[in-house]
Amino acid sequence: MEENFLKDQAALVTGGSRGIGRAIVLMLVQAGCRVAFSYQKSQQAARSLEEEINNKGGRCQASAVDVKNFEEVKSWVDRSRDHFGRLDILVNNAGIILDKTLMMMTPPNWHEVLETNLTGVFNATRASIVTFLKQKKGNIINISSVSGLMGLSGQSNYSASKGGINAFTKALAKEVANWGIRVNAVAPGFIETDMLSGFPDEQKEQIIKNIPLGRMGSSGDVANCVKFLLSEHAGYITGAVVCVDGGLTMR
């Protein structure tokens, strides 16, 4: 695909300051896209990324947004669209993990994960979809997880939220296909990010033993999959959940 295949397009990325989100933001900018990304707590990382991109001639805006709050998300979407003069891409990446066995899980543990990971996807997509429908064009990528496909012990809240994203992706893809809008999900496996930094080495070694490719993934691996799904090479793909997991969920 061409180096600047997204030239002059505008994208929104939720949760773009660190890890997978950061890699996606950088990929989009390198592809010629103007990007607005949200963050919630990582202000220093967000401002650093924003400054890095803008100093190199890219166009990037970072905003503190609570994806659980629809009005706050809608305001951010509207401001970003008006600033760039258009909206072409939405990447729903924001997410959290609060792992506990169900016996130890509190209602706040459940609601915080579901509202951030799943309701956050609804909020950003609902706030963007009217623009996409009016222009009969748009590309939506939802960052899911293999946890939503195979289930992982201690992640009933997280697995439920990501399984919901997969179903949401398929339902919306059918709903908007006639308007030229594609909707896909990317389901990463174990990726070397801050979420895995607290895992002891022995646990990481055990995880790697279950991955056919024999290694953890990188944020770049996920960003490259998003890049493909945004390209014309994926023009006939919608409603898909693409695993980037080194074969972990292989059947």
CATH number where 82 lies: 3.40.50.720
Residues 6+ away with beta carbon under 8 Å from 34: 8, 9, 10, 11, 58, 59, 60, 84
Cα angle at 191 between 187 and 194, to 5 degrees?
120
Burial (CB count <10 Å: 0-12, 13-18, 19+), residue 178:
exposed
Does 249 map to a domain?
no
> Does residue 5 fall inside a structural domain?
no
112 within a domain of the structure (yes/no): yes
Q: Provide the Cα torsion 82, 76, 161, 96; round to 10°.
A: 130
* Residue 92 parent element (H or E): strand 89-92
Please state, in angstroms and rounded to a whole number, the distance separating the CA atoms of residues 31 and 7: 7
pTM: predicted TM-score of the whole model, two decimal places: 0.96
Is 158 noted as a catalytic residue in this protein? yes
The active-site residue out of 37, 122, 158, 190 is: 158
Whether 1 is in a domain gets the answer no
Amino acid of residue 209 = K
- Residue 105 within any structural domain of the chain: yes
| Domain membership flag for residue 118 | yes
Q: Does residue 251 fall inside a structural domain?
A: no
Taking the chain (251 residues) in runs of 10, the rounded mean pLDDT of each run is 89 97 98 97 95 96 98 98 97 96 97 98 98 98 96 93 98 98 97 77 87 96 98 98 96 66
DSSP bridge pairs for 243: 187
Report the number of distinct structural domains present in the chain. Answer: 1
The answer to the question of residue 2 being in a domain is no
The DSSP bridge partners found for residue 84 are none
Residue in 228, 121, 140, 210 with CA at minimum distance from that of residue 179? 140
What domain range includes position 221? 10-244
Q: What pLDDT is recorded for position 2? A: 75
